[in-house]
Structure 1
Amino acid sequence: MAYSLSDSFCTKFNISKPILPYYPGQQFTVVSHDPPEPAKGSCALNIHAAQERESKRPLERCILHPPLPGSVGPTTVYLKILETVRLGDNQSAQIAKVQVITLSHFYDSLYFDHEQDDANPFLCVDRDHSHEAAAYKALSVLQASTIPIYYGSYSMELPADATVRSGRLILMELVPGISIQ
C-alpha cells in the first residue's frame, strides 16, 4: 500500500481496519485459555516493527502477530454482548457487559492504538493480558470481597478477510457503580 506525503498520521496507521466486532447483540464462542507467565520486557516499537507498520495494514500485522499461545482448556462459553463499558478503536482492552458471565475484557491487538510512535501494539496487548490474568490469580483470596470475581482467561477466533485471527479475553464480575477511571 502506497502513501503520499499528505497522508495524515492517523490515516496512515489505522487505515483499513474491519468494523469493530464488539457491540450490543453480538455473540461470541470462546474457549477457556491458560495464559503463559506474564510477558516481560518493553513493548517499545523497534525499527523492524516500525518498518512493518509503514508497509502493512493493521489487520495484516495482527494476523502476523497472534497473541501469546498459552494452552486451551476444556470449557466453551457462549457470550452475548449486552452493554458497552468501554468499546472503540485505539483502546488497549475492549470492555463490555456480557450475558452468561457479567464482564469481559477483549484483548484485541487490531483495535489497539496503532498511531503510538513508541509502542508495539502486539507486545503491549500480550503484556496487558498476561499481567491481568496473573494478577487475578495471585489475588484470588480477595475476589468477591475487595476485587471482582475472576472467571478466567479465554481465547476466541474472529474472521479476518479470507482467514481467522485469534484474540484473548478475561471474564470477570461486573461491580455496579461509578468507574474509578
Structure 2
Amino acid sequence: MDTPEPFPYKKGHKLRILSHITPAPTPVTRNCCRNGPARREERKQLTPLQRCIKNPPLPGNPGSHSADLEILDALKLGDYHNAQVFIAEMHETGAPNQKKKVVVKAYDPLYFDDLNGYLDPFRCVDKQYTHEAHAYNLLADLQGNLIPTFHGSFSLELPVPGGAMRIVRLIVVEYIPGLSMQQAHPADYSVCRRQQMMKWVVDFESRAFERDIVLTDLCPRNVMLPDPSEWLDRRIVFLDFGGAIFGRRLDGPVSVPLNLLLGVYISPLVRWTPSMAHPFGDWIDW
C-alpha cells in the first residue's frame, strides 16, 4: 500500500464513472476544514494513499447510470490543487453515438494542497463537492446561460496497489471555450465594455444572493468570456461554486438572533463594498 498509485488523470486515460446522489451540503463553521490533533497525528503515521483509503468521502447514495470518460486535455492537474480539473469526452452508457465534450472536476484528496498539514483534505473535498453540486441545483434555471449546464455528480473507483479501491467524487459540467477574465487583458476592452461586464458580474452575484447563496470565490479566475465564434448569445459564464455558503451566513450557533432577510432582494448598492470589487480592480478604472 506504500507504493504510489499510477496518476489516473493523464491525457488519453479512460475512466468509468457511476452517478451519485450527493449528501446535504456540509456545515460551514469557522475553522471547519482545519486539521485537528487526531488528523495531524494520522498524517505523521500514514502515507497519503493510506489516509485516502482510511477516510473515504461522505456516502450519499448511488445513482442509476454510468458513463465513460476519455481525458482530452488538462486544465488543472497534479499535486497541490484543490481539485483535478480536465476536459474529457463523455459517453453515457445506454446512449449510443451520443458523446459530449465536458469539463470534469474530481475532488481527489490524494493531490489536495493541505498547506503542510494545516488543512484537513478530506473535510475540504467533502465540503467543495457537496456545496458545488448543491449550488448547481439551486441555480438550475441559469444553467446553459449564466452558468454551465450541470451533467451530474459521480463516483470514481480507483484501484490501488494491494488490491484495494479508493473512491473519488466528481462533477461533470458543460465545456465553455474561451478565456477567463484572469486570462484576458482589460486593455483590450473599451471602458463601456468593461462597465457592461462588471454589471453582469454584479447582477449575477445579486441573483445568487437573492436565493440566499453567498459566492465566496467570485473573482476573475472564475468568470469565463466565451469564445464569440462558438457562442453568439452567451457573453459571460460563471464557474466554481465549491465555496458557496447557503443561508447567507456560516453555520453554528449565534449569540443574538439574526434577521438576514432570507429570500429578499437587497440592492448591490447597499451590499457591494470595496472589498467585493477588489478582485476585479484591474477591470475598473473609471
Give the TM interval when normalised to the shorter protein.
0.7 to 0.9
Q: Deviations over 1:1-53 (max 9, x none)?
A: xxxxxxxxxxxxxx964342101100000010011001114111000000000
| Aligned match of 1:63 | 53
Aligned residue in 2 for 1:117: 117
Q: Residues 147-171 of structure 1, C-alpha deviation per residue, up to 9 Å, x if partnerless? A: 0000010001001122110011100
- Report the secondary structure of 2:178's partner residue: coil
**Are 2:174 and 1:173 equivalent residues in the alignment?**
yes
**For residue 143 of structure 1, what is the aligned residue in structure 2?**
143
In 1, the alpha carbon distance for the partners of 2:42 and 2:18 equals 31
- For the residues of structure 2 that align with 1:174 and 1:116, how far apart are their CA atoms? 33
How far 1:113 sits from its partner (Å)? 1.6
**Structure 1 counterpart of 2:68, which letter?**
Y
Matched, 1:25 2:12: yes
C-alpha distance 16-119 of structure 1, shift in aligned 2 (>3 A): farther
Structure 2: gaps spanning 5 or more residues: 91-99, 181-219, 222-286
Counterpart secondary structure, 1:146:
coil
Q: Distance in 2 between matches of 1:133 and 1:116?
A: 28
AA paired with 1:153?
S
2:153 is aligned to: 153
Offset of residue 115 of structure 1: 4.2
* Equivalence for 2:40: 50
Letter in 1 for 2:171: I
* 1:90 matches 2:59: no
Partner SS state of residue 15, structure 2: strand
Q: Structure 2: how far apart are the matches of 1:56 and 1:156?
A: 23
Secondary structure of the residue aligned to 1:178 is strand
Q: Give distance in 1, aligned partners of 2:36 and 2:4.
A: 22
Q: Give the TM-score, by structure 1 length.
A: 0.88
Cα offset, 1:88, TM superposition: 1.1
CA distance in 2, matches of 1:44, 1:154: 26
Residue in 2 that maps onto 1:39: 26
Q: Which moved more, 1:106-115 or 1:28-37?
A: 106-115
* Amino acid in the other structure paired with 1:176: P
The runs of 5 or more residues in structure 1 that have no matched partner are: 1-14
Mapped partners of 2:49, 2:85: distance in 1: 20
The aligned amino acid for 2:122 is F
Of structures 1 and 2, the larger Rg is shown by: 2
Amino acid of the structure 1 residue aligned with 2:167: S
- Of 80, 93, 98, the match for 2:70: 80
The one-letter code sitting in structure 1 at the alignment partner of 2:22 is: P
Query: Cα offset for 1:127?
Result: 0.4
Residue identity in the other structure for 2:154? Y
| Aligned residues of 1:25 and 1:80 also touching (Cα < 8 A) | yes
Letter in 2 for 1:98: A
Query: What count of residue pairs does the alignment treat as equivalent?
Result: 167
Counterparts of 2:117 and 2:43, CA distance in 1: 10
Q: 1:12 maps to what in 2?
A: none
- Given that 2:3 and 2:161 are in contact with CA atoms closer than 8 Å, whether structure 1 keeps it comes out as no
Supply the distance in 1 between the matched residues of 2:51 and 2:155 (Cα, whole angstroms). Answer: 19
- Work out the CA distance in 1 between the residues paired with 2:158 and 2:130: 20
Moved over 4 A (4+): none
Cα RMSD (Å): 1.4
Q: What is the one-letter code of the residue matched to 2:16?
A: T
Q: Which has the higher contact order (CA 8 A, sep 6+)?
A: 1
